[in-house]
Amino acid sequence: MTNTNKIVGHYAMWAQALLLHGAAKGARDLGDRQTYLGMSDIGRGIECLRAAVANKRDHTFAVSQEELRQFTALGDMGRIMNVLRREITKQRGHWVEAGMVQALSSLRMNFFTQLEIKALHKGIPIQAHLDLTLVGSRSPSIRVLELKSTKRLRNKLFASHETQLYAQLGFLKALWNAPAFNLKNAEGVLVYHDLTFPELAKKVFGISMPQDVNSVDIEGWIVSVAPDDAKLYGPYTPHDDTLKVCLNVAEQIWGAVSGIRSGTMSIEDVPHDKGFHPLCDWCDYNATCPKFLGQAIEEYTDILQQRSSIKEQISSLEDDCREMDEELKTAYRRLVATGQVKQGEWVIAGKMRFRVIIVGEGSERLYVGSVNEEPTPSTNHTSDFTTPFTHGIAA
C-alpha cells in the first residue's frame, strides 16, 4: 500500500467514525427528528422557511456510509475531506457541551443537561432540548444556557440562535405545571418522564420550586465558544409575543412538510428568504434555491475553485498570525515580569521590533514594526556651494 493510500485511508477512517458517532448520538439524544419539530427547526424557519422545510422533509445525512466507501475506493481525497470537515463542524458543539458540563460539575451546581420538553400544539408535536438548565437552590431561579461552538465570535447573533432560545424559554414558562418534562441518562434511556418542572426539580435535586411560574426568576443566555475565546449574549427572558411568533412558524413548517409528504404541494411552493444570509453557503439545499438559479458556464470552474482554495489559505494564515500575536504578547508579559524591559518599551529583534501597550480595562494591543537601517552619510561632496551661479537673471 502506498503512502498516499494510507493517508486516504486514515482520513476516511475518521470521517466514517464521525458519521457513525453523529448518527448514534442524534438518535440517542434527539430520537427520530422527522416525527417532531425541534427548536432549531423553528429557529431556522425564522430565517428561511424553505431551508427548514427541506431539512425536515429529508433530515438525512448529506453523505451515507456507502458513498464514503466509494470515495475511499476512488481515492477521492477532496470529497473525503469535505465529509470530515463538515462532521467536525457539526459535532464540535457536542464536544464543547461535554467539556462545559464537566466544568460545571466541579462547582457542585444543580443543573440538568439536555432537559427535554414535549408539547402538542394544534396537533404539531414539538420538542425542546435545553443544553444546560441551572436550578437555584437559595431562591426560585432558573438559568437556561444554550451553547454554541463557533469558529470566531460574532458581535451580533444569528436570528435563528436567538429564536431558538426564546422558544425554549417560552416553552419552559408555558408548560411549567404540565407533565411535559423528561430527562435521559448518558445512554439515552428515560429516567424521568411526564413530570412538571417543580416535580422534576424535587425528585432530582430535592429543591422545592413554586407552582406559580411568575414567582420564578427565569433567564436565558447564549454561550458562544470559539477555539480560544468565549462570549455571553443575554440575558433573555420569556416573551409571550415571541412565543406566538415561534408557534406560528412551527405551524408553517409542519403544514408545508405535511403537504409535501402527502403530495399536495412541493418544495417549490415554500417561500424562501430573499436576501443573502451568511449561512446560505452552508445550506444543503442552496443548489436548487430559486434565489441562486442561473446559467451554467463551466469555463469559470477552475478560477472559482482556485479562488476558494486561496481564501482558505488566507484564513489559515490569519489564524497562524493570531497565534503568533498571542505568543508575542505572552513573551512580552514575561519580559516585563522579569525586568528585562519596561512596560511599553520596544523589544528589538533583528530587523523587527514589537511592544505591548495596555489599553482600556487591562486589554492588550500588540504593535509590530520594522527596524530600517539609516543610510550612511556620504563624505564625498562634489558640490561647492560657495561657487557663484554661472547663469543668472540679467539686471
Cβ neighbours for 177, distance < 8 A, ≥ 6 positions apart: 196, 197, 198, 211, 213
Mean pLDDT in consecutive groups of 10 residues from the start of the chain, 395 residues: 79 89 84 89 92 79 74 84 86 88 91 95 95 93 94 83 94 97 90 96 96 96 90 93 94 95 92 80 83 88 91 89 93 94 94 90 88 74 50 45
CB atoms within 10 A of CB 335: 17
What is the per-residue pLDDT for 377? 72
| 386 grid coordinates | 560657495
User: Using the 8-state DSSP alphabet, how is residue 59 labeled?
Assistant: -
With H, G, I as helix, E, B as strand and everything else as coil, classify residue 96. helix
User: DSSP alpha helices (H): ranges in the chain?
Assistant: 3-30, 39-47, 49-58, 65-74, 77-105, 159-174, 197-205, 240-262, 301-337
Express each pLDDT in 52-85 by its tens digit.
Answer: 999 887 655 556 778 888 888 888 888 888 888 8
Domains of the chain (ranges plus CATH)? 1-294 (3.90.320.10), 300-370 (no CATH)
Are the CB atoms for 190 and 264 separated by under 8 Å?
Answer: no
**Residue carrying the nine cell digits 448520538:** 25
Q: Which residue type, as a one-letter code, is found at position 328?
A: L
Express each pLDDT in 140-172 by its tens digit.
Answer: 999 999 999 887 788 888 888 999 999 999 999
Are the CB atoms for 43 and 164 separated by under 8 Å?
Answer: yes
What are the angstrom distances between the C-alpha of 73 and each of 80, 84, 377?
Answer: 11, 16, 69
**Residue carrying the nine cell digits 408539547:** 119
User: Using the 8-state DSSP alphabet, how is residue 222 labeled?
Assistant: E
Dist CA 130 CA 200 (whole Å): 14
Long-range contacts at 52-57 (CB < 8 A, ≥ 24 apart):
52/253, 53/253, 53/256, 53/257, 53/260, 53/267, 53/270, 54/267, 54/270, 54/284, 54/285, 55/284, 55/285, 56/253, 56/257, 57/257, 57/260, 57/261, 57/267
User: Using the 8-state DSSP alphabet, how is residue 269 labeled?
Assistant: G
Q: b/e map of 103-137 (b: 16 or more CB within 10 Å)?
A: ebeeeeeebbbbbbbbbeeeebebbbbbbbbbbbe
What is the per-residue pLDDT for 22? 84
Q: What is the pTM of this model?
A: 0.75
Cβ neighbours for 286, distance < 8 A, ≥ 6 positions apart: 280, 292
Dist CA 218 CA 213 (whole Å): 9
